[in-house]
Structures are given as C-alpha cells and as structure tokens.
Amino acid sequence: MNLKLKIWRQKNANDKGAFESYDVSDVSPDMSFLEMLDVLNEDLSRDGKDPVHFDHDCREGICGMCSLYINGKPHGPKDAVTTCQLHMRSFKDGDIIVIEPWRASAFPVHKDLVVDRSSFDRIIQAGGYVNVNTGGVPDANEIAIPKTIADQAMDAAQCIGCGACVAACKNASAMLFTAAKVSQLALLPQGQTERHTRVERMVAQMEEEGFGNCTNTGACSAVCPKEIGQEHIARLNREYIGAKAASDNV
Amino acid sequence: MALDSKIPEGPLADKWTSHKFKSKLVNPANKRKYDIIVVGTGLAGASAAASFGELGYNVKSFCFQDSPRRAHSIAAQGGINAAKNYQNDGDSVFRLFYDTIKGGDYRGREANIHRLAEVSVNIIDQCVAQGVPFARDYGGLLDNRSFGGAQVSRTFYARGQTGQQLLLGAYSALSRQVATGKVKLYARTEMLDVVIIDGQARGIVTRNLITGEIESHSAHAVVLATGGYGNVFFLSTNAMGSNVTAAWRAHKKGAFFGNPCYTQIHPTCIPVSGDHQSKLTLMSESLRNDGRIWVPKEAVKGLKAADAAKIAEEDRDYYLERKYPAFGNLVPRDVASRNAKQMCDAGKGVGATGLAVFLDFSDAIKRDGLETIKGKYGNLFDMYQQITGDNPYEMPMMIYPAVHYTMGGLWVDYNLMTSVPGLYAAGEANFSDHGANRLGASALMQGLADGYFVLPYTIGDYLANMPYDKIPTDHEAFQTAEKEVKDRIQKLLSINGTKTVDDFHKELGHIMWEHCGMARNAEGLKLAKEKIKALREEFWKNVKVLGDNEEMNMSLEKANRVADFIELGELMVDDAFNRRESCGGHFREESQTPEGEALRIDDEFSYVAAWEYQGEGQDAKLHKEELEFENVKLTQRSYK
Ligand SMILES: Cc1cc2nc3c(=O)[nH]c(=O)nc-3n(C[C@H](O)[C@H](O)[C@H](O)COP(=O)(O)OP(=O)(O)OC[C@H]3O[C@@H](n4cnc5c(N)ncnc54)[C@H](O)[C@@H]3O)c2cc1C
Ligand code: SF4
Ligand code: FES
C-alpha cells in the first residue's frame, strides 16, 4: 500500500518545529509501524536527509520506550498495544497518517518525536520503592499474600512508564502512572510501613514536575497499552486522603 | 599474561563462604571515599549500583536508554530459577548446580556455577521484600513452574513479564539510592571507552546522546553490565539498541574475550516475513508443552498455515517425535533449533520463505478443549495473531529459530574481574556461568546474583587495597581516550559514502547467520572471515553517516555500534574455527556421531577460550583456561 505521512520535525528543544510530509510506497501489511518508519528513514538517509528520530528499543511492547501520537491517539488506533506492536495491517492504501511526539510541558521535546520523560524517574525516586537494603530480608514465603491481592498488585505493576496516559490527558496529568506504583505498593504488605509518606511524596513530586491535575476524564486508561484501570487512581486518592488525615509528614 | 581464575581452594560447597570470609573489607567510614562506575542498568547493573550505594560507595550509573527501567532485561518473559525447593519435589542447591553445568554441556566453571545456585535462594527473598509481585497459589505462597524441560518446578514467575517485574524491583532499589544521593544517574549516555592508568581501570569516556558531548568520568573501579551481543546477527530477539560496544572497547584495551562463538539460538520465534524485518519476536518455550512440531514429508512450495489442514496426517513428519521418542517436542533448545534448520535446509520448510516449521495445537485443542488452551496461552496466541495476522486457534503457528542470548562475553575470574584489574563484568556481558548453552530462566538469576550478592563482596576486596586519591579527568590518559573517541566519530561522519549503516549491519548479520550460526564448518568459517574483513574495509570507506556529533544523531550511534560488531564478528569466527567440536548450542559439522548428533571432544576442548586483542588487523591471541571437573562426571547428552 501507499501512504502519506505528516511527521513533526523539530531539530532540538529550542527549535520551533513543523510538520513535514512524506510519501511511502510498497508498505507491506506485515510490517510493524516502526519498520515502516525504518524504511522511510533508510530512504531519507540514502538521499542525504536527516532521518526521523523516534524512541524505541524492545519492539515487543514492554520497555515503554516507543511513544508516538498517531492520528490523534497515543500509540495509534488499536487498543491495548504500544506503537511498536502496531502493524500496518491496521491501515489501508491511501491513508494519511499524522505522527506527533507526546505533548506535555513535563515532557519537553529533544528532537523530532523524541521527548524527555525523566520526570517519571523523579516521581519514582520520590518514593516508588520499599525501603529495604540488599540482604537481611526474611524468607520469601514468610509473608503469605492472598492470590487476589497479589494479582491486583500485578495489574498495577504492569505499567511500562511510556507516558501515553499523560499524552492523552487534556490536563497532561501523570495521575495514572503515579497511581499504578502507589497502588501496587499500597496493596502489598511489604509496602505498608511507608504507605503514607510514599503517596504524599510522589504526588508532591508529580506536581513539582508540572503535570496537570486529574479531573477524572478516564482518557488515560482508555489509551494505556497495559490497560491500567481507573480503580488505581481511586486507590491513590484514598491513600492520599488517608495520609493527609493521619500525619503531618512532608 | 597468564590466566588466573582465582577459584578458591576447598570443597565445592564451602568455596564461596570461605572466600567471602577471606575477602578484605572496606571500613564503613571509608566506603564514601571510593567511586564506582557501573555501566548498564539491566538486572546486573541496576542491582549492583543499588547495592554499592547502600553500602556507602559513590556510584555513577549509565545507560543508553532514556531511563534505567528500559534496559533489555525488561523483555524477559518466562521466569527465574532458584533452588528453594518450595514444591518439595527434590530440588536442592546441588541439583540446580548439576542441571546448569550439564545443560551448559560441561563447558562452565564448577565453582562459579555452584555459587550461582547457592545465592539463587537469596534473590527470591530480596525481590519479594522489594514488592515484586510473583505469581502465588491460592494459599498465598509463591507458585513455581517447571521450565525448559527441568524435572523440578523451580521457576518463579510474574505472569509472562518476569524480567519486567524483577527489573522494576532493581530499578526501585536504584531509584532509592538516587534519592539518597549515593547514586548519580546518567541516562541517554553511551560509554565509548574505558580508561586504564598504571594497569588499572580508572574511568570511562562517554557520549551524551542528546547533546553529543564527549565526557570523562573517573573512579576507583568500573563495572560493565552492558548485556549481550546477539545483535551481531542483525536479527535477534534482543532489543534494537543492545550492542557490544562497551565490552568490545574494553577488549581492545586489554580485557580478554571469553568463548565469543557461544550463542544461543531459541527454537520458537516468529519467522522472518520480509526484508523490512527489524527484529525477531520470541514465543515462549512453554508452547512446546502442547504444540506439535511438523513439516510435510514431501516438500510443498510456499505452503501456507491456512492450507496446513489439507496435508493428510500420514503425509506429515512430526520429526522431533520421530527422532527423539523419549523427549519428543520437549528436546532442549539447541536440538529443537538444529532440527528445524535441517528440515528447512532439506527443502521441507513451510511458509512463503520456506524458513519455518509448523507448531500445531489442533490435537491439544481436541484433547483439552479450546478454553483450556486459551487459558494457558491466550496472551501468546493474541501476540502471534497481532504480528502475523494468522489465527493460531484455527491453523498452526509457524516458527523458526532465532538468536537469543550470548553465553560468551568478557572473560572474568571468580571475583567477576576481567583481565584488567579494577574492571569487572556482570550479567550477560561476562562469559561466566552458562558454559556452551544456557538453561531457560537462568540469565535473570545470574544477572541478579552478580549484582546483589557477588560484586558487593568481591569489589570490596579489591578496593580495600586501593588508595583513596581520585584521578582528575584532565589526566593525560583521559585526554588521550577522549581524543581517540572524537577522532573516530569525526572519521565516521566524514566518510559520506553510499551505503547506510543498516546496509552493513544486515550484510554482517547474513554472513554470521550463514556461517557462524547454528551449524558451522571449517570451510564456511574461512569464507566468513574473508567476507567480514572485506566488509570492514568497505565500511570504513563507504558508510554514510549523516548529521553532526553535536546533536541527537541516531545514525551516528548505530554506526559506532556496527563498527564494533564487525570487529567482534571476526573474533567470533576465529573462536568458532578453533573449537572443532560440537557442543551446547553449536553444531560443528566435522564433529558428529554416526547418527548425526552433536559430538563433544572433551580431551581436546574442555577449556574456556579467552582471546587477547593484539592490535588493528591482527589475529587475537588464544589463552586457554582448562576446566576441571571434580564434582560431576562428563557424559554425552542423549535425548533419544
Ligand atoms: C525476549 C527475551 C526473553 C528472555 N527471557 C528470559 C527468561 O525468561 N529468563 C531468563 O533467565 N532470561 C531470559 N532472557 C535473557 C535475559 O533477559 C538477559 O540475558 C538478561 O536480562 C541480561 O541482563 P543484563 O543486566 O546482563 O543486561 P541488559 O538488561 O541487556 O542491560 C544492558 C544495560 O547496559 C546498557 N548499555 C549497554 N551498552 C552500553 C554502553 N555502551 N553505554 C552505556 N550503557 C550501555 C543498557 O543501556 C542497559 O541498561 C530473555 C531474553 C530475551 C531477549
Ligand atoms: S499507566 Fe499506562 S499509559 Fe501510563 S505510563 Fe503506565 S503503561 Fe503507559
Ligand atoms: S519499543 Fe519497547 S515498548 Fe515499544
């Protein structure tokens, strides 16, 4: 099939950036979306033009590195998959595809479609862990955890930190990402001791990074490739209120 | 230089304990006077950096991705082994040790492997304490499964995302140390050289992948936990960015490279669909528990999965069941891979390319019902359909072997130190624990063993003898290394040839797969060596690398990596040529039994091949570390 691509090009963080159009031909339905961009980039390179920069690594939907806003939707038209798992059979001959970077003030553009998501790392650094050192921990089977709780914790822990939730949100809120970690650790017995300080610190960091407020539109869960649900945001809110009521931490 | 593996004296089971006791300690108040560089944030690197930080050392941690959480370890699916014996099914430290050394076809070190089995139990405790949500049974205790043909259930897992959950655990420990200020993170930063001063590793040179800035970092010790080099084959199950650069530059500075030709080929991957293919996707090994592998008895050109049902039962060759009745479709990875290749080489392969075999679930669906199969493999079937467009509930899957893991890597002694003092290698980047073939669910175990439980002890022993003084980065050695890195980048940017970096990478991959892949012979390897030499010359005359250094430049990043892959390829071919035996993942055609099975030659090849760099264009020099087996008896593997 033949396609027309309109891609956001921006030389660096200071450049204003603009869309450019490209025609790609002979696209096979078996190609992944990123392989289609590889083909475009090989053509551009051969012509001596700067290839389109985009983030990617595992190409299996798990590292969370890929991040394109495709025709107005983070990770493209299919539900519950990342951009790297999207295949060209989801498009048809003659389609126009608009490709943009994640847009959020807490995710500034480095180049073209590549953005800076280090704000996510700093949210985790603010408290997304259990305070244990290597060694000196109890036997793994000393703490029994009911299967249903372990399963719910795992649902939350599946977050790949891609940032699609932020890109989809009209407020550019990082609530779903933050909630996924808070929820995982709040559910598990290992996370209880620092339950209150954790949620307070992580939410404070989220605000400091310039992410917007959550107004419960649910747009985040709708695009989340790992289908992290709204119940985790509800749990974060409960944790947060509980923490505020219980302590004068932070 | 002589190889000293520094294996401690004493009975196997006591070696590690007595070694830890004899290791020197650094006084807690003095730890803050030492700086350690850890390159890589996968399971090995993140766990090491976090543990060093907890102990009080100053750590700098590097990765080329935008976040440490994205290291390739994240992609591991199946699970992690540990000799917990929670299932009361006869597992023990010794059994895990024995399975690992046998699985590695007796080409691993007894002492290292026993230590790995010993600390495996601590890993699970550590991960659970961090909040890793492993699968649990209804009583709330940890669940296990049997993996890769093991006779005991010792594999811990978190759905199909074990690597992700373990890495996020290590990443959280690392993040905690970043918050305390003990670890400083450098994401999107690529190490391009190691700096050696007075014979000791004292730092690295890096490129900032956003600005292009070349920087030096000084330390008292350097750890490389930079993963495997399977992408030398262009197509593999590794992440796109996985590369050999850090290990290779260390090799060129004096670190010996161990068993470079030991590659693991995984039998169940989704076949190549065309020239555009950028990577291969692994389908879990567990599929072989219920799927039956077959090809038509008589070659049918371009047979589609949708038409498989038209081949009558008696016209199908279930070749694994036929050749290995005792194990059938569950033969080890190397045997399954090699047989698939043989079938395709004989023209019986299926699909448009003829490079695929069927993995058929129709009998399992008939026997257990659709719902049962869906329950077991639903995710995998969906993933398969997403990628290929075929529905595996209605027609067989097509699979083909793909490069998956590299057992070879930087040679290290028992302390995980390379042949360069102060330079360590951990995780897939070292050669140490899997011999000639790695068992499923053992790489995650080794990465975390190295980082959480081995390096924190062994690096202390080394640092205890080091003076505290720091070497400033304007030292001549840093300046020279920076200049070399800059000159090389300038050279790459100035060639302005006609072929892209990917063109060269694909060509290299093709040569490696053809001549240094699953099956090799002397003639093919000789040819490969010449082809790689020619490719290397052409690369440095005709590669086209666009843009400048002072910007984000993915074409330059790739060129740097591919240049190193080409050099590594040549060493792999030398190593494969030298090892005139079939062992583990490798079938050397000259060395087979009358029935055509792999034949090891123990009296000639029970050694680790450690290669020493001799300079540009020179053949590397071989050093042999003889392997001694005091606790296991060498046997030929048989799966008949
Ligand atoms: C698809 C797949 C499934 C797997 N499943 C399993 C499984 O079920 N069980 C199992 O035990 N094993 C499995 N493995 C193998 C296992 O995942 C890996 O061997 C292991 O995770 C490697 O960990 P590592 O820490 O050594 O390296 P990696 O996780 O590869 O990390 C390498 C790190 O080094 C950094 N790096 C590399 N070069 C540089 C440089 N020059 N400068 C700066 N940073 C650099 C990277 O940024 C990264 O942080 C699987 C592998 C694959 C491909
Ligand atoms: S919550 Fe979902 S969309 Fe947001 S970062 Fe995690 S995986 Fe991505
Ligand atoms: S590239 Fe890893 S999730 Fe898409």
Domain ranges of chain B: 267-403, 476-604
Whether residues A106 and A122 share a domain: the answer is no
| Closest C-alpha residue for ligand 2 atom 2 | A224
The answer to whether residue A32 scores a pLDDT higher than 60 is yes
Selected from 1.10.10.10, 3.90.470.20, 1.20.58.100, 1.10.3720.10, the CATH number assigned to the domain covering B476-604 reads: 1.20.58.100
Please write the tens of the pLDDT for every residue from B387-419. Answer: 999 999 999 999 999 999 999 999 999 999 999
Mean pLDDT of chain B: 96
Task: Tell me: do A131 and A98 sit in the same domain.
Answer: no
Residue B557's pLDDT is 98
- The pLDDT tens digits for A149-172 are 999 999 999 999 999 999 999 999
Cβ atoms of A158 and B161 closer than 8 Å: yes
Q: What is the DSSP string of chain A?
A: --EEEEEEE-SSTTS--EEEEEEE-S--TTSBHHHHHHHHHHHHHHTT-PPPP---SSSSS-S-----EETTEET-SSTT--GGG-BGGGS-TT-EEEEE----TTS-EEETTEE--HHHHHHHHTT-S----SS----GGGS---HHHHHHHHHHHT-----HHHHH-TT---HHHHHHHHHHHHHSGGGSTTHHHHHHHHHHHHHHTT--------HHHHH-TT---THHHHHHHHHHHHHHHH----
Instruction: Tally Cβ neighbours within 10 Å of residue B126.
Output: 27
On the question of pLDDT at B201 being above 80, the answer is yes
Please give, rounded to a whole number of angstroms, the shortest distance from the CA of A245 to a CA of chain B: 25
Give chain B positions within 8 Å (CB) of A32.
278, 387
Interface list for A 14-73 with B (CB within 8 A): 28-32, 34-36, 38-39, 42, 45-46, 48-51, 53, 55-60, 62-65
pLDDT at A248: 60
Looking at the fold, whether A73 and A123 belong to one and the same domain comes out as: no
**Residues from chain A contacting residue B67 (CB–CB below 8 Å):** 64, 117-118, 120-121, 161
Please tell me whether residues A211 and A105 are part of one structural domain: no
Mean pLDDT value of segment A123-140: 97
> What are the pLDDT digits (tens) for B257-271?
999 999 999 999 999
Q: Which residues of B are catalytic?
A: 333
Convert the pLDDT of each residue in A194-215 to its tens digit. Answer: 999 999 999 999 999 999 999 9
**Contact between chains at A46 and B240 (C-beta distance less than 8 A):** no
**With bands split at pLDDT 50, 70 and 90, how would you rate the model's confidence at B282?**
very high
Question: Which of A67, A82, A87 for mutating ligand 3's site (highest number of atoms within 8 Å of CB)?
Answer: A82
Which residues in chain A touch residue B276, judged by CB atoms under 8 angstroms apart? Answer: 28, 31, 35-36, 38-39
Residue whose tokens read 């690295």 = B204
Local confidence band at B1 (pLDDT 50, 70, 90 cut-offs):
low
Quick one: pLDDT at residue B150? 84
Q: What pLDDT is stored for residue A249 in this prediction?
A: 52
| pLDDT at B595 exceeding the cut of 90 | no
Segment among A67-76, A93-102, B441-450, B593-602 with least mean pLDDT: B593-602
Shared domain for A62 and A103, answered yes or no, is: yes
Global pTM? 0.98
Sequence-ordered list of residues with C-beta below 8 angstroms from that of A14, at least 6 positions apart, any chain: none
First to last CA, chain B: 44
Confidence band (pLDDT; 50, 70, 90) for B285?
confident
Model confidence over B528-543: pLDDT tens digits?
999 999 999 999 999 9
**For B62-91, what is the mean pLDDT?**
96
CA distances from A135 to A127, A129, A215, B127, B289 (A): 20, 16, 42, 10, 36
Q: Please name which ligand lies nearest the alpha carbon of B37.
A: 1
Domain's final residue, options A77, A110, A143: A110
- Do A106 and A127 sit in the same domain of this protein? no
User: Does position B170 have pLDDT exceeding 90, yes or no?
Assistant: yes
Beta carbons of B546 and A129 less than 8 Å apart: no
Looking at the predicted structure, is the pLDDT value of residue A250 above 70?
A: no
8 Å CB contact between B450 and B12: no
Instruction: Kindly state the DSSP code that residue B296 receives in the 8-state scheme.
Output: E
- Residue with the nearest Cα to atom 4 of ligand 2? A165
Number of domains in chain A: 2
CATH number of the domain where residue A174 is located: 1.10.1060.10
Run of H or E including B263: strand B263-269
**pLDDT at B188 (0 to 100):** 98
Which residue, A110, A141, A169, sits at the end of a domain? A110
Handedness of CA B408, B586, B626, B8 (dihedral sign): positive
Q: Who wins on pLDDT, B71 or B617? A: B71
| DSSP letter, residue B608 | E
Strand partners, B610: B258, B623
Q: How far is the CA of B70 from the centre of ligand 2 (A)?
A: 14
**Count of alpha carbons within 13 angstroms of residue B308, beta-carbon side:** 27
Asked if pLDDT for residue B286 goes beyond 90, the answer is no
Question: Could you tell me if the CB of A65 is within 6 A of ligand 3?
Answer: yes
Say whether pLDDT at B498 is over 70.
yes
| Residue B628 half-sphere exposure toward CB, CA atoms < 13 A | 6
Same domain, A89 and A123: no
Domain that holds residue A25: 3-110
pLDDT at B640 > cutoff 80: no
User: A97-106, A240-249, B515-524: lowest mean pLDDT where?
Assistant: A240-249
What CATH number corresponds to the domain at position A47? 3.10.20.30
Ligand 1 contact via B225 beta carbon (within 6 Å): yes
Q: Does domain B267-403 have CATH number 3.90.700.10?
A: yes
Percent of chain A whose pLDDT exceeds 70: 98
Same domain, A61 and A146: no
Q: What is the pLDDT of residue A17?
A: 97
Q: What is the pLDDT of residue B160?
A: 87
Is residue B243 lining ligand 1, measured as CB closer than 6 Å? yes
Q: How far is the CA of B131 from the centre of ligand 2 (A)?
A: 19
Q: Looking at A56, A84, A110, which one is the last position of a domain? A: A110
Angle at B347 between CA B437 and CA A30, to 5 degrees: 80
Tell which residue, B563, B578, B584, has the closest CA to residue B611: B578
What average pLDDT score do residues B492-508 get? 97
Q: Which of B69, B68, B70, B48 is nearest to B59 (CA)?
A: B48
Q: Tell me, yes or no, whether A142 and A191 share the same domain.
A: yes
Q: What is the average pLDDT across B245-263?
A: 98
Ligand nearest to the CA of A221: 2
pLDDT of residue A177: 98
Residue B514 has pLDDT above 60, yes or no: yes
Question: Whose Cα sits closest to atom 1 in ligand 2?
Answer: A177
Among residues B306, B320, B322, B298, the alpha carbon closest in space to that of B398 is found at B306
Average pLDDT in the B372-392 region?
A: 89
pLDDT of residue B585: 85
Instruction: Give the tens place of pLDDT for each residue, B325-353.
Output: 988 998 888 889 999 999 999 999 999 99
Quick one: which ligand is closest to A37's CA?
Answer: 3
